[in-house]
Structure 1
């Protein structure tokens, strides 16, 4: 059994079958749509859908990590469509978009159920001209104001009680032409109560900066982090709930 879910604001009825066909495709190496790809646990595809959807897209299959992932690569226990990783990530991104936070818009998802297990794929908006922060900082630096901007963005996320469980500089995108920052990869993320987790979330990001400072020699120092914290600790009033 296969379930599909679409963002009606981005996928017109006339393009439902086109999007389904893309979700069902396993390999785009020889496709005219291929704009690029990246490798992690699996391959993330960047596809040209400008004509059909007015945006290009990112297509990602869900894979397990860790030791268990070596045994069971991409199957998960099915406990209702709303509890699948794809549906939860799609729903969270839709909510973040409602709050006007800079994240990619969710476009579509596919969940394939076999007995009590499922496999899933998600399609997201491609942020044009963006680089992940670790790549950008290898050859460029950010201004104090830009670090403040990152801090403000994370504070907005936290003010909505959204816990990005993998907050690192690879999941922060920067568009040099516009100066905008975006947050990506909200798989296994969600809302959390209280405030105790927020300082550890920031500490995780700092560890990421320090790790890539040593591994990739990115342009980053303690003063940069203080400017980020300066932006974070400014107060915000949430108007969209």
Structure 2
């Protein structure tokens, strides 16, 4: 698909370049519409083409064929650039998902390999009795699995609710779906790090959790709390998608940075 669009654009430009004069005169409006959509109303080539069409009963003639071809080429380049931005943003999200998933998995493996190093940080000692996420007993990787699983579930629920703010897209890159998937590993790590922060007495007034139920409840809280980060990423995603809406974009709008 990424290679198909440039080839289609080259074909479109070639057809305009060799079209008979009788067919050429009706191509001006199409080129002008595409230029307004992707170049904006201030583009000098678009303004010159619009002026010619206005003075020539909205018909394109041979004298301005080259201008129409150049304008169409510029509009096609802008459209390709818009799609490239969406693709780059999607690839960045996929890389982030992979990295976060690896980190979450490694933390669980570490919990099984050396329970006293990381898994023990999710346990608390109210009244001198150890309370871990799975209950009283020795810490293990299962505690980390439980905390991360709860965080993932909480993040998934919060992400499903936030989907109402994510706009659709005319591109084939499924950015809204990738934004949703980003929340899953991020929620797992957010829950784990949040429990560790409580254990480290980082949060004033909160030093001990009395039972596994409270640990699970705080894991839910921190899993949902990742929305404060992903909401900003959603906003950036919407800005990127706004630049590549194809025929859904209003005429004359200028792509946003």
Using structure 2 for the length normalisation, give the TM-score: 0.23
Larger % of helix: which?
Answer: 2
- TM-score, normalized by length of structure 1? 0.24
Larger Rg, first or second structure (1 or 2): 2
Between Structure 1 and Structure 2, which shows a larger proportion of strand residues? 1
